[in-house]
Amino acid sequence: MMVSDVEATTTAPALDIDALRRDFPILQRRIHGKPLVYFDNAATSQKPQVVIDCLDNYYKHYNSNIHRGVHTLSQEATAAYEGARHKIQHFLNAKSPKEIVFVRGTTEAINLVANSYGRTNIGQDDEIILSEMEHHANIVPWQLLCEQTGAKLKIIPINDQGELLLDKYAELFTPKTKLVAIVHVSNALGTINPIQSMVKIAHQHGVPVLVDGAQATPHMKVDVQALDCDFYTLSSHKMYGPTGVGALYVRQSILEDMPPYQGGGEMIQWVTFEKTTFNEIPFRFEAGTMPIADAIAFGTAIDYLQSIGLDRISQREQALLHYAEQQAADFPGLRIIGTAQHKASILSFLLDSIHAHDVGTILDNEGIAIRTGHHCAMPVMQHFHVPATARASFSFYNTFAEIDQLFEALHKVREVFAR
């Protein structure tokens, strides 16, 4: 059954997986006496030493507040923080660094758009198009906006493979449609959505598009100009960077007209008790002291990803996914949830009628970390009439041998429940 890591990646210039794994100290851990097999990358990825060192280096050598000090430390910190913004800009191929706003993560990015853009541009009886496969982070902020404004949600349905029904999507547009908010890669199903053609359709109706890219940026090249989307969100912690930071891309012409989201220091130009004038973009949206160290280390994580190469990462992860799906197809009692034609390296599944939590506990006993539950995508669970699934999500640092271990452990799960 076992394929060597070299054989399976012959199409790409071979990655030295052993060397890459050594970049991640946590992969040396043992869990319940067994080597850790980390298959919960979609929840959060592990961090390479360079990212850990970057945080350490910041606090040891140039910790200070940014944009407001004349002293050396502040200048160094400001340069590093703005440097990270440039790295994100180039990573996404955005036109200008002014289009990149630092936020806490995808969740805050979407809330920012809902509160700032949404409240100014979306009103009573207007319509927002979402899909059935959205993460709660791309549902609830819009529901809150609807409650405040009287706007309505319209939902793009999915088929039983977990793919969007694009003809239904095209039919949802009306003169009242004000925004499309759609996930790039589904965290519950792995589906990669055809964003480029969906944006084209929306723009034909004059409707802007927000893309939740939380699960896309760790796995593939993303070019916001090629996609032609208007908003794009990402989370550092899913891309081998620290928690607590992420980015929101907004097309400059739209961002210029957006009102502030939160008030405070840093986002102003001039304050009197009569009137405050606001700072320029993107600073207008970064009120208060930001997670400076984390933003800088997010930039380091992007350097790290690019040093490996997104193309090679995609190729490696597709090989892992393919290998896992082949084993899954032959595995008794296993049903994959999410069998779209275009998928990222996410395998959601059910085993017999065994609840995902029981699967998760038994796998943990074998040192294997997977996610179990509804994956913050309850409407997806409702579509498939299941309360929960087990989900293994693969990173380039995972191995074919680890996938073999997963399926061996799944045999143990069946043994426990066969009694």
Ligand X SMILES: Cc1ncc(COP(=O)(O)O)c(C=O)c1O
Active site residue 376: yes
How far the first Cα of the chain sits from its last, in Å, is 28
One residue of 78, 107, 300, 393 binding ligand X per CB under 6 A: 107
Q: What is the DSSP string of 325-374?
A: HHHHHHSTTEEEE---SSB-SEEEEEETTB-HHHHHHHHHHTTEE-EEE-
Under rule CB under 8 A, residue 29 binds another protein: no
* d(C-alpha 151, C-alpha 122), whole Å: 7
Give 316's contacts (C-beta < 8 A, 6+ positions apart). Answer: 9, 12, 15, 17, 396
Give yes or no for a contact between 228 and 210, defined as CB atoms under 8 angstroms apart.
no
- Residue 34 vs 119, nearer CB to another protein: 34
Tell me the helix, strand and coil percentages in the chain, rounded to 5. 45, 20, 40
- Residue 287 vs 381, nearer CB to another protein: 381
Residues 357-396: x/- map of binding to another protein (CB under 8 A)? Answer: xx--xx--x------xxx---x--x-----xx--------
Residues 315-354: x/- map of binding to another protein (CB under 8 A)? Answer: ---------------------------------------x
- Residue 66 vs 359, nearer CB to another protein: 359
One residue of 8, 51, 137, 359 binding ligand X per CB under 6 A: 137
Q: Which run of H or of E encompasses 287?
A: none
Under rule CB under 8 A, residue 172 binds another protein: no
Structure tokens at 23: 């970049």
* d(C-alpha 25, C-alpha 49), whole Å: 7
Site stretch for ligand X (CB under 6 A), options 20-28, 99-107, 119-127, 191-199: 99-107
Which CA distances in Å does 83 have to 71, 223, 294?
18, 19, 13
- Residue 200 vs 412, nearer CB to another protein: 412
Give yes or no for a contact between 364 and 215, defined as CB atoms under 8 angstroms apart.
no
- Using CB atoms within 10 A of its CB, is residue 107 exposed (0-12), middle (13-18) or buried (19+)? buried
Under rule CB under 6 A, residue 183 binds ligand X: yes
Could you say which of another protein, ligand X, none residue 212 binds, taking C-beta under 5 to 8 angstroms by partner kind?
Answer: ligand X
One residue of 5, 212, 294, 366 binding ligand X per CB under 6 A: 212
**Using CB under 6 A as the criterion, which residues of the chain lie in contact with ligand X when the complex forms?**
105-107, 135, 137-138, 183, 187, 212, 214-215, 235, 246, 376
**Using CB under 8 A as the criterion, which residues of the chain lie in contact with another protein when the complex forms?**
354-358, 361-362, 365, 372-374, 378, 381, 387-388, 412, 416-417, 419
Catalytic residue numbers?
A: 376
